[in-house]
Amino acid sequence: MLFLSDNAASVHPLVWEAMRAADAPDTPYDGDALSAALDERFAELFGRDCAVLWAATGTAANCLALSCMVQPHGGVVCHREAHIEMDEGGAPGFYLHGAKLLLADGAGAKLSPETIRDVIDPIRDDVHQVQPHAISITQASEYGRAYRPDEVAAIAALAKDRGLGLHMDGARFANAAAFLGLSASEAAGPVDALSFGCIKNGAMSAEAIVLFDPAMADVARYRRKRAGHLQSKGRYLAAQLHAMLNGDLWLANARHANAAAAEIAGACEGRLMHPAEANELFVRCTADEREALRARGFAFYDWGDDAARFVTAWNTRDSDARALAEAIASL
Amino acid sequence: MLFLSDNAASVHPLVWEAMRAADAPDTPYDGDALSAALDERFAELFGRDCAVLWAATGTAANCLALSCMVQPHGGVVCHREAHIEMDEGGAPGFYLHGAKLLLADGAGAKLSPETIRDVIDPIRDDVHQVQPHAISITQASEYGRAYRPDEVAAIAALAKDRGLGLHMDGARFANAAAFLGLSASEAAGPVDALSFGCIKNGAMSAEAIVLFDPAMADVARYRRKRAGHLQSKGRYLAAQLHAMLNGDLWLANARHANAAAAEIAGACEGRLMHPAEANELFVRCTADEREALRARGFAFYDWGDDAARFVTAWNTRDSDARALAEAIASL
Amino acid sequence: MLFLSDNAASVHPLVWEAMRAADAPDTPYDGDALSAALDERFAELFGRDCAVLWAATGTAANCLALSCMVQPHGGVVCHREAHIEMDEGGAPGFYLHGAKLLLADGAGAKLSPETIRDVIDPIRDDVHQVQPHAISITQASEYGRAYRPDEVAAIAALAKDRGLGLHMDGARFANAAAFLGLSASEAAGPVDALSFGCIKNGAMSAEAIVLFDPAMADVARYRRKRAGHLQSKGRYLAAQLHAMLNGDLWLANARHANAAAAEIAGACEGRLMHPAEANELFVRCTADEREALRARGFAFYDWGDDAARFVTAWNTRDSDARALAEAIASL
Amino acid sequence: MLFLSDNAASVHPLVWEAMRAADAPDTPYDGDALSAALDERFAELFGRDCAVLWAATGTAANCLALSCMVQPHGGVVCHREAHIEMDEGGAPGFYLHGAKLLLADGAGAKLSPETIRDVIDPIRDDVHQVQPHAISITQASEYGRAYRPDEVAAIAALAKDRGLGLHMDGARFANAAAFLGLSASEAAGPVDALSFGCIKNGAMSAEAIVLFDPAMADVARYRRKRAGHLQSKGRYLAAQLHAMLNGDLWLANARHANAAAAEIAGACEGRLMHPAEANELFVRCTADEREALRARGFAFYDWGDDAARFVTAWNTRDSDARALAEAIASL
């Protein structure tokens, strides 16, 4: 019973189906009909104009989006536990040509105008210090916390006031929207660019870079090619994105994963390090308890010495979630 | 009847099958069993130790391989019509952090020790000029020409003598090997790294970076992650590579494409700009002739004002190839 | 008798004097009074608004100026014998983060709208090919040729038409202006940025980056610091630039060097590879002839197998120039 | 009475003299006799082989030294208040092509094996996290603290154990050596590279990059040219370095500055934020007190809201130091 991560889950049958349906040759790269339809498709979803590019990883999606906002001599404010800081092998340094991540604090790996200001206000406006060019937030955060619309709006207002771009890493955007019970548009808020995650949510190898300023897309397209991310058979990636939007599969999958997480969370009273708002649970438990759970067939990662991380996915079986909940309750 | 390119051909059924068979969850990134088996699998094919990484595009494969050989202040000797110079959107500049492509000549987009020396011998050994760190050749070349083993050996000897790395862009390596009637090992020769192309040859989204000095793999692995090319569901890419090697599908597919090209070439007497040694044909013909061919249902690219390029693929129908041959013959 | 290069000539007494006069402490970096006065000083010289930054080398000046015009995924059209291509150790690749130099032809290392178009017109407007972002020309050129005002204007018109920045490498700008008998403004024409060279013309370690769009200066200032070129005792560099402008020392020095070159050129009938328009002479002569000249005490560089390069400087003695002219005449 | 910084102090008369003496033309770049003699000169000083390159700023010296040790995908451990992190405008990101600064703690801006381990031990040895390639320490530290030989040795042992390069930013190395009463060799300890600062200590525009592994110099020389830091009249920089070593001027100047600081420190009982070990004093005082000092003619920087920073230099007048000491004592 796997609760290791959603990042290696199987591909959803409807995604497979869409990929197979894309098998007939079409124009290479992003010249195919499916790729060409993405802008409109996502514009409908978000209720505003956007340009959409596929990319094979969240790391590439995040970095390409940021490369439209940040010059090499600038910086990106992000949480000190943000994925771009902790888990992308220095990709922002590569894609942004040495631009700097400016690390801010905040409970649950969420930023706020206050913690952003704590970082940027002390920066003197002179050439000796790297100036912020953008802010990046993660929805849901690295600890599974969802930004509320007013929270995103407040950060966006600060960004606008300071002339900074605003990027949202949405590797688990669907889980946040599902938890909040909000539309895609409401869950994203007035960000300039969104990495709309699909791979953790049932796709195989396609994330959507959603650029709400279509002018940014010109840069992003050149940078994507230059980064070796313009696949010649791009239609198979576009097909995955379409499959995720069709019938709101993205939301259905996320709701399933969230529900499984919620069921487990119900058994974790007093143990949760962070409120369960998406599909990740950070659960205090001893080494003995973790051993006991593993003995009963549950696979998961330790989280430091005193906790475990459980992640549910679109395909987590209800019975597995129930079993884990019961096992934790019985510890 | 499509002769535009092999780069957007459908995915081979055995590749689909292998991808589906990889659907069960496994360790993410390249920790899965299929990815872990690649080194050994390719070592068998090439008869010498190697480390193998998958990558989603030939551009990424080429640039990651080169990043193991070339420092930012160095250069790469390549043909002035090489793919890395002409068609990768400046990716080598990005991946190699501003290292320079040093452009050499040679008929059929093939380099030789002489044309390489023409470029590197005039470079003074001082800091004012960019020094070569590596050589990159393309097998088969951008004009569909295959390097013979003695040709590769001669270039490799020069590379060794000058302390340069030797990279082979094998986007159509299979077509070259099939044409030459040689083993993979013989067709590659003593190169240090090979981009073993699969996407143009029936795969969907996986090329193999074959590093014959396994020590280079340590750099390549960090650089791949840093470039956002470490997919979390990497097993689907590894599966494609295994499928291509199984039963020598890579060779069978290339032989099919080559045979189709040869059939068409047979009708092009006096028209071929380059001997047909792989699956690309550069055929002199007037605008009127091209119009006539298009009117009969053939899709292909113009090649300048006085020629057309026809590319066959693993799935080119015999009847289509025959029809094109007849159509050209009847011009 | 030294005709090797002007790049290592002694420092002019008036430059020394100005540096000594700047010895009293002032605000560090470019906060001192001398640095602050540069914008206005050069605006007077050029008759239009500009922002001026000092830099310690022509390489840094060229690359910092270009970094205001060229994004990492773009390219710079320059002559294939341009200094930025041939002699800067790959600095443009470093400063422009992998942007590409797009090499054009032209007699005497001068570009023209035609040769620029030969390079940029074949570039397809797609992401597979690096797009031009700027043009760089050298005044006087690497072969000592001066662009006439109508020539610069024609290139500027093309640049404007294509949305490209226009940079002028003026390492020997003074020599060109002196030869043409034109004001600084006329000799520069409507370029966007000029590397106004002083070091070859009597300064020690200061070139002026002249940005005619002051908005570019904001980028240039950050990039200069980031490149480690913001010296804390910047007043000594600013002092050099002021000294060069005072009483038009820049012109006087260049006139002297040009006159010496002209005297020598007068003895080179039939031998000059390029018309002598500045202070560099490329003179056809045999190895024996070069040996004979060296035996008589002249130091200079070979230029290939069949020529020699003689460079005069602000401090070339009239008697040395005369002696060289006579020696060549007597060959 | 200036106590703002030592970074804009006047140039020492003996440095001026050496520069004037270098005025005769010599081979350009670093081919002159003075530059060529640097390796041997510094090898004598340090008692071990080294290669020495001049550079015009400490930022360039630090970054060029680090570029010999750190690959673009790696990281540099430094103190979170290190100059390379706080005050170099992102230069390390530029010179190291996006490599990351890994920030460690330590009182007085000094690192220790423990605080270094706190940063590097949690880094998993996988491609998702940036791996350390080098450590950089500052002697004297950004708070004017000197590393004792056993402290440097302990860090060097850790570096060696982990396969990391060790760099010392010696912008105020002379002040540390003078304070410690140690030879250059003892004050540097077994570091791999040292930025030997001269500009704050009486030079105009030359720092020495001292590479104790001469093999690193090959990379450093190419990188220096590529960064536009290879000045054509390099002899004027080499002359400055020679002047600093002649008769141990570097030590004499530092002793003078330290003595002035010590005199002032004697008046700061209970006010010093950090022990005074070099030529910088961080002195607690109220806004009113600072106003009072300024009213008496002292120029200095605020250090946050509750302190002031006073920096002495090679040319601080004894009477000024005494006056400041008395003024502080009388607050």
What pLDDT does residue B50 have?
97
Q: Which of A96, A129, A131, A302 to mutate to test the interface with D (most CBs of D within 10 A)?
A: A129
Average pLDDT, chain B: 97
Q: Is residue C101 part of a domain?
A: yes
- Please tell me whether residues C243 and C168 are part of one structural domain: yes
Instruction: State how far the alpha carbon of C229 is from the alpha carbons of A63, B129, C223, in Å.
Output: 28, 21, 9
Show residues of chain A in contact with D97, CB under 8 Å: 93-94, 97-98
Report the residue count for chain B: 331
- In this complex, do A228 and B16 lie within 8 Å of one another by their Cβ atoms? no
- Please tell me whether residues B230 and B98 are part of one structural domain: yes
**pLDDT at residue A158 above 90?**
yes
Annotate B165-217 with DSSP letters as a single string: EEEEEETTHHHHHHHHT--HHHHH-S-SEEEE--GGGT-SS-EEEEESSTTHH
How many Å lie between the alpha carbon of C152 and the closest alpha carbon of chain D?
Answer: 27
Last residue of a domain, one of B249, B277, B301: B249
Beta strands at D307-311 and A301-302: parallel, antiparallel or unpaired: unpaired
Last residue of a domain, one of D248, D279, D313: D248
- In this complex, do B71 and D128 lie within 8 Å of one another by their Cβ atoms? no
Average pLDDT, chain D: 97
C227 contacts chain B (CB < 8 A): no
Return the partners of chain D (3 or more C-beta pairs < 8 Å): A, B, C
Helix (H, G, I), strand (E, B) or coil at A132: strand
**Share of residues in chain D with pLDDT > 90 (%):** 99
Strands of C105-204 (E only): list them: 131-138, 165-170, 193-196
Nearest to D238 by CA among D213, D209, D216: D209
| Alpha-carbon B33 to chain mean position | 26
SS (H, E, C) D48-116: CCCEEEEECCHHHHHHHHHHCCCCCCEEEEEECCCHHHHCCCCHHHHHCCCCEEEEECCHHHCCCHHHH
pLDDT tens digits along C4-32? 999 999 999 999 999 999 999 999 999 99
Q: Is residue C122 part of a domain?
A: yes
Measure CB to CB from residue D221 to each of B71, B72, B127 and give the nearest one: B127
CA–CA gap between residue D237 and residue D250 (Å, rounded) = 15
D95 contacts chain C (CB < 8 A): yes
Counted domains in chain D: 2
Last residue of a domain, one of C211, C232, C248: C248
CA–CA gap between residue D81 and residue D16 (Å, rounded) = 34
* Dihedral of alpha carbons C149, C152, C156, C158, sign: positive
Show residues of chain A in contact with B67, CB under 8 Å: none
Nearest to B164 by CA among B87, B238, B95, B68: B68
Residue B123 near residue B103 (C-beta atoms within 8 A): no
Annotate B38-61 with DSSP letters as a single string: HHHHHHHHHTS--EEEEESSHHHH
D172-188 in b/e form (b: 16+ CB < 10 A) is bbbbbbbbbebebeebb
Q: How confident is the model at residue A215 (pLDDT cuts 50, 70, 90)?
A: confident
What pLDDT does residue D214 have?
82
Measure CB to CB from residue D59 to each of C9, C90, C228 and give the nearest one: C228
- Please tell me whether residues A151 and A292 are part of one structural domain: no
- In this complex, do B222 and D97 lie within 8 Å of one another by their Cβ atoms? no
CATH number of B311's domain: 3.90.1150.10
- Please tell me whether residues C152 and C301 are part of one structural domain: no
Nearest to D197 by CA among D165, D225, D173, D230: D173
Average of pLDDT values for D113-141? 97
- C261 CB burial (10 A radius; 0-12, 13-18, 19+): buried
What pLDDT does residue C153 have?
98
- In this complex, do B73 and D222 lie within 8 Å of one another by their Cβ atoms? yes
**Share of residues in chain A with pLDDT > 90 (%):** 99
* Dihedral of alpha carbons D236, D220, D64, B96, sign: positive
Q: Which helix (H) or strand (E) holds A259?
A: helix A249-265
**pLDDT at residue D234 above 90?**
yes
D286 contacts chain B (CB < 8 A): no
Q: Is residue B261 part of a domain?
A: yes
Neighbours of C149 (CB within 10 A): 15
CA–CA gap between residue A51 and residue B320 (Å, rounded) = 38
Residue B227 near residue A94 (C-beta atoms within 8 A): yes
**pLDDT at residue A214 above 90?**
no
- Please tell me whether residues A230 and A294 are part of one structural domain: no
Q: How confident is the model at residue D14 (pLDDT cuts 50, 70, 90)?
A: very high
- In this complex, do A93 and D100 lie within 8 Å of one another by their Cβ atoms? yes
Average of pLDDT values for A245-250? 98
Neighbours of A284 (CB within 10 A): 15
Residue C28 near residue C326 (C-beta atoms within 8 A): no
**pLDDT per position in chain C (331 positions), as tens?**
999 999 999 999 999 999 999 999 999 999 999 999 999 999 999 999 999 999 999 999 999 999 999 999 999 999 999 999 999 999 999 999 999 999 999 999 999 999 999 999 999 999 999 999 999 999 999 999 999 999 999 999 999 999 999 999 999 999 999 999 999 999 999 999 999 999 999 999 999 999 999 889 999 999 999 999 999 999 999 999 999 999 999 999 999 999 999 999 999 999 999 999 999 999 999 999 999 999 999 999 999 999 999 999 999 999 999 999 999 999 9
CA–CA gap between residue D161 and residue A178 (Å, rounded) = 49
Average of pLDDT values for A130-143? 98
Q: Which of D67, D225, D316, D320 to mutate to test the interface with C (most CBs of C within 10 A)?
A: D225
- Please tell me whether residues A262 and A221 are part of one structural domain: no
What pLDDT does residue B214 have?
82
- Please tell me whether residues B264 and B180 are part of one structural domain: no
Quote the tokens at residue C279.
Answer: 């202070």
Q: Is residue C9 part of a domain?
A: no
What pLDDT does residue C35 have?
98
Q: How many CB pairs under 8 A join B and C?
A: 61
* Dihedral of alpha carbons C153, C159, C164, C169, sign: negative
Show residues of chain D in contact with C32, CB under 8 Å: 8
Amino acid at site A232: S
Q: Which pTM does this prediction carry?
A: 0.97
Measure CB to CB from residue D8 to each of C63, C233, C237 and give the nearest one: C233
**pLDDT at residue B195 above 90?**
yes
Average of pLDDT values for B71-82? 98
Average pLDDT, chain A: 97
Average of pLDDT values for D303-318? 97
- Please tell me whether residues C259 and C217 are part of one structural domain: no
**pLDDT at residue A17 above 90?**
yes
Residue with tokens 């790729």: A35
pLDDT tens digits along D237-271? 999 999 999 999 999 999 999 999 999 999 999 99
Nearest to C244 by CA among C176, C208, C198, C180: C198
**pLDDT at residue B225 above 90?**
yes
* Dihedral of alpha carbons A53, A54, A59, A60, sign: negative
Q: Is residue B1 part of a domain?
A: no
Measure CB to CB from residue D225 to each of B29, B72, B127 and give the nearest one: B127
Q: Is residue B5 part of a domain?
A: no
pLDDT tens digits along A263-295? 999 999 999 999 999 999 999 999 999 999 999
| Alpha-carbon A122 to chain mean position | 29
Q: How confident is the model at residue D67 (pLDDT cuts 50, 70, 90)?
A: very high
Instruction: State how far the alpha carbon of D110 is from the alpha carbons of D105, D142, D169, in Å.
Output: 8, 8, 12
Q: Which domain holds residue D278?
A: 250-324
Show residues of chain A in contact with D73, CB under 8 Å: 89-90, 94
Q: Is residue B4 part of a domain?
A: no
C90 contacts chain B (CB < 8 A): yes
Q: Is residue A310 part of a domain?
A: yes
How many Å lie between the alpha carbon of C18 and the closest alpha carbon of chain B?
Answer: 31
pLDDT tens digits along D73-97? 999 999 999 999 999 999 999 999 9
A97 contacts chain C (CB < 8 A): yes
Sheet holding B193-196, edge to edge: B51-55, B207-211, B193-196, B165-170, B131-138, B74-79, B100-104
A206 contacts chain B (CB < 8 A): no
CA–CA gap between residue C10 and residue D26 (Å, rounded) = 9
- In this complex, do C98 and B90 lie within 8 Å of one another by their Cβ atoms? yes
How many Å lie between the alpha carbon of A299 and the closest alpha carbon of chain C?
Answer: 44
Average of pLDDT values for D219-241? 98
Return the partners of chain C (3 or more C-beta pairs < 8 Å): A, B, D
- Please tell me whether residues B121 and B152 are part of one structural domain: yes
Residue C179 near residue C277 (C-beta atoms within 8 A): yes
The DSSP letter of residue B90 is T
- Please tell me whether residues A198 and A302 are part of one structural domain: no
- Please tell me whether residues A145 and A67 are part of one structural domain: yes
CA–CA gap between residue A214 and residue A230 (Å, rounded) = 18
CATH number of D178's domain: 3.40.640.10
D221 contacts chain B (CB < 8 A): yes
What is the value of ipTM here, to two decimals? 0.97
- Please tell me whether residues A310 and A191 are part of one structural domain: no
Sheet holding C301-302, edge to edge: C280-284, C307-311, C301-302
CA–CA gap between residue D229 and residue D23 (Å, rounded) = 20
